[in-house]
Amino acid sequence: MSAEPTVEGLAQELSTYLDTNRINQVRRAYYYAEQAHEGQMRKSGDRYITHPLAVARILAELKLDHQSLMAAMLHDVIEDTGIPKDALAEQFGEDVAELVDGVSKLTQIEFRSRAEAQAENFQKMTLAMARDIRVILVKLADRLHNMRTLGPMPYEKRQRIATETLDIYAPIANRLGMHSICTELEDLGFSSLYPMRAKYISKAVNKLRGSHREIIEEIRGRLQEKLEERGLPGRILGREKHLNSIYNKMKFKHKSFHEIMDVYAFRIITDTEDDCYRILGAVHSLYKPLPGRFKDYIAMPKANGYQSLHTTLFGMHVNIEIQIRTEEMEHIANNGIAAHWMYKNEPSNVTSVNQARVDRWVKGLMEMRERADDSLEFIEHVKVDLFPDEIYVFTPKGRIMELPSGATPVDFAYAIHTDIGNAAVACRINRNLGSLSQPLQSGQTVEIITAPGARPNPAWLSFVVTGKARSSIRHVLKTQKRAESLELGRTLLKKSLKGFGTKLADISDGQKQAVVNHNQVNSFDDLISDIGLGNRMAYLVARQLVNGAEGAESATVEAGRPADRSPVTIRGTEGLLVKFASCCKPIPGDPVVGVMDSGNGMVIHSDTCSRLPEDDEGRARLTHLKWAKDITDEFSVELRVELERQRGVIAELANAVAMADGNIERISVEDQNAKFGIVSLVVHVNGRRHLARVMRRIRNIRAVTHINRVRH
């Protein structure tokens, strides 16, 4: 067994690119983590601290900055030892605490489903949740070390972690251009999932490599000779074929093992871009290039920053694949976005040239992102939320929904299905009841609670952000308003016709059409709808229907009109077009009248309300109403309670209301002196009898001297 790695060994490695002060900060993070994980062991029997140290070493190989290394040391501290984020911020600064917190959050995502699209969305969500891209780099290093030491884990856990690695983490490494980490994750994942297949392929590769050694050496020799002949600098490396990529080519491209392995792959690494093209000319003069197999990724880099010339040649009866790139391209191909920090640490030896090449690379990536079709082919800056305009949330079954930033549970409900949005009444976010209007965050699980017969609330329009939610709500409200205005209009028209001693059924289609034409509307329904909305008077339309449109030309509301005093029944739950006046707050049992409000339907007032018209003409326009018998809905009532000031009297008041099954909506102390106070209460009751019960309970409190219902 190899000796346990030490922090001193790491410090030695860091001294090649970090100054002493920064190395000491990394050391401090190590000792803090060592103390926090004291007594914890890994499945392998090693002390737990060996894991964070190994993760830091992987990042040190990528020459990452000291904050990333500190976060690597501390990445399991919040999760495993209960030390809170702010304690880390106090010790190591806000940046490091943020990184550690980000890694912990990623660790908590449960990867439940395995569909292709899901894997892609998980990758997006993983990236979206990391506000600082270094979070991803620490997470990748953490995953890489876990994959290297997967052996002692139980079988199921090994399978789950390996699948997750192949579905989520290896593709992320690839998207960030980190080829070396990507291929290692792929091969470790493949070997874990399919140990037998990996063993067979590996055996076959070694066997083939042995028998092909001579050909490989000969091709390498010829290439070397050609470069020397032309005076071109270049290192020639043989390229390994990776187990996972061999397996995938066999599986998805239906190629035989020998077809794949009969390709000899080399990489030539040179000094400048110019040399790359010269070497390309040299190898093309040595062996014939295969048509259509040449790719220039130097002039047009891949979206993750990868640059190289690729060409396939035919020589010595075999295909020869060659990649040609500069040292810098090689470094970026292997380490991708991590190649940044090598030049970002501002130690004394950083030159402006290095800085410029990093900035050039980032700029190139940004330009490519604009051209890229796939939103995942990206990277805006090094430190940026990669998907600032999208959030990713789970349905209760683990499906991922992609929504625009700022989306609420209502948007989520409509994204699932219009019917679910229309019937939504509440929601659970991460299993706790949440508000329908709160903006969602990536990674949350959202569950919508629906109720049969529920309708969208017009207030939703003020906070939804998706077009689908907005148009669906508007559509339902429009349809609902139309249906309600027709119903109310028809009721009011029937009542007015009754006053003329006739019924709607007795009016002929011809009479109706004449009135429709006279009023210049499209249909009789539109006319009725206008009555319901308060834009026309039912009495006038009734008169036109009875006397003929022309005869009612100058009809005014006469005081002695044939009036029908039979009231219209209301239930109090009519919806958009029947509203209760906020001035007098009528409740079931109160004598009430309806006032038509232009465009908005009917407003219900108590018949003693001071806001009602006083004159005869105005009074004649009121609709007499009566309450239905079986109302169970709640209505607001305002009460004014005068009382002697005593300790705990407000609690006693609240208790009295609760004992009478009332609900308090609002309670406020209006004015008071040392002895007396006035309390204003808004209580929900379902009628006058219920209100009487509530008032009786309040009156029974010894401190209460007077109580009355407030009507403004």
**What amino acid positions are annotated as catalytic residues?**
79-80
**Residues in a beta bridge with 41:** 47
Whether residue 627 contacts residue 588, with contact meaning beta carbons closer than 8 Å, is answered with yes
Which DSSP helix (H) or strand (E) runs through 123? helix 116-129
Q: Which of 593, 605, 510 minimizes the C-alpha distance to 548?
A: 510
Q: Is 118 left (phi over 0), alpha (psi -120 to 50) or beta?
A: alpha
Q: Which of 117, 116, 121, 79 minimizes the C-alpha distance to 101?
A: 79
Write down the number of H helices and E strands in the chain. 28, 20
Q: State the pairing for strand pair 309-315/288-289.
A: antiparallel
Whether residue 83 contacts residue 77, with contact meaning beta carbons closer than 8 Å, is answered with yes
Residue found by looking up tokens 């439940």 in the block? 112
Q: Is 241 exposed, middle or buried (0-12, 13-18, 19+ CB in 10 A)?
A: middle
Whether residue 460 contacts residue 413, with contact meaning beta carbons closer than 8 Å, is answered with no
Whether residue 594 contacts residue 604, with contact meaning beta carbons closer than 8 Å, is answered with yes
Q: State the pairing for strand pair 623-627/568-570.
A: parallel
Q: Which residues contact 515 (CB under 8 A, 6 or more apart)?
A: 524, 527, 541, 544, 545, 549
Helix 20-36 and helix 50-61: axis angle, to 10°? 150
For the chain, the straight-line distance linking the first and the last C-alpha, in angstroms and rounded, comes to: 87
Q: Please tell me the distance from the alpha carbon of residue 677 to that of residue 657, in angstroms, as a whole number.
A: 18
